[in-house]
Structures are given as structure tokens and as C-alpha cells.
Amino acid sequence: QVQLVESGGGLVQAGGSLRLSCAASAGIFNNYAMGWFRQAPGKEREFVAAVKRSGGTTYYADSVKGRFTISRDNAKNTVYLQMNSLKPEDTAVYYCAARASDWGILRIKGYDAWGQGTQVTVSS
């Protein structure tokens, strides 16, 4: 089963940028669609972005569309989330997840593996 480790979180001022990385091991990376989710204090985990196995199709939550970009490098077994124009409401723990299918990648249910999460804090 694939194992995932996120990095790149931190504290940034509103309007700033961060790039999150998620490195995968112990699996065939390009067999997995990849997603980013986030969970703010007191709220449920929510979908942020996802990319199909080939990397050719991406999806975004309306709240981040135009500001965030998901990409994957199958040669490096890594998926990225470039976050620009950050807002205080983007503050959350961000998780990457792997799914052995391109179907249903916008839904939390059905992902096969999750990382431990990385904290992103955006100050106003």
C-alpha cells in the first residue's frame, strides 16, 4: 500500500503563497489518483483538489479555483499543491490522499491511503 508524507506547510500572511508536497512510497505512484483535502478546527474535512492518475485532468473546490494548482510528477512519486493568494479562511491541516481509481476522486470516501497532514496558517 502506498505511504504518503506531506511537507511544505507553515505560517504565511494573507496574499502570500505556499507549495505543499506529498511524497509517495511503497506503491506504484501512477496507479493512484491523488487528492488534497483540508480540515479546519471544528469543521469537517473537505475536498480541495484532485488529479487523475495520468495527470491530465484536475479538479478544484470552488473556494480555491483560480488560486490553487494541483500537479503531479510521476517520475518523482510526488504530488504538489501550489497555493497562491492565500486567505485566512484557508487555514487548516492539509492532507494528501491516494486512490486506486480515477472514479469518485472528489469524495473523501474511498481513498486508500492518507498522509499525516501539514498545518497551513494564514494570518490576516
Paired with 92 in beta bridges are 120
Cβ-based neighbours of 118, under 8 Å, separated by 6 or more: 6, 7, 8, 9, 20, 93, 94
Q: Name the average pLDDT for the chain.
A: 95
Q: Quickly list DSSP for 70-101.
A: EEEETTTTEEEEEE-S--GGG-EEEEEEEESS
According to the model, what pLDDT value does residue 35 have?
Answer: 97
Q: What is the pLDDT of residues 16-71, one digit of tens each?
A: 999 999 999 977 889 999 999 999 999 999 999 999 998 889 999 999 999 999 99
Amino acid of residue 39: Q
